[in-house]
Amino acid sequence: MHVDKAKKRIAKQVKKGFHGYPLVSLEYFGKTPDSATQVVISFTEEEGGEPQQQTFVSGGDAREDETIQSTLLKIIERADAKTVTEVDGISSLGEN
């Protein structure tokens, strides 16, 4: 699947707003605010439930990585998520 198509389908899910659980949340991280080198996807089955997380790392910008975006979309679809959220912008990767 083309990266633009996957990104549009994810954005469409995010725009729907909150419709209950299961909930999938996406958060992008990077060393600079211009490039996201990793994305964390969280799955929460029910309210108050412990989220399951998976991290994907990219050598470039994860938002433009066709494989990562297609995988995120497949996870959302297979989880039958009623709600998809995305943290705006790129969160900072803490350098330790």
Residue 96 pLDDT more than 80? no
Confidence category of residue 95, pLDDT binned at 50, 70, 90: low
Residue 68 dihedral angles phi and psi, to the nearest 5°: -65, -45
In a 13 Å sphere around the CA of 30, the CA atoms on its Cβ side amount to 16
Q: pLDDT tens for residues 59-87?
A: 999 999 999 999 999 999 999 999 999 99
Domain residue ranges in the chain = 3-88
Q: pLDDT tens for residues 17-55?
A: 999 999 999 999 999 989 999 999 999 999 999 999 999
In angstroms, the first-to-last Cα distance of the chain is 36
How far is Cα 87 from Cα 31, in angstroms, rounded to an integer? 16
Element (H, E) at 87: strand 83-92
Residue 1's pLDDT is what? 72
CA dist 19 to 23, 80, 82, Å? 9, 12, 6
Mean pLDDT of 88-92: 94
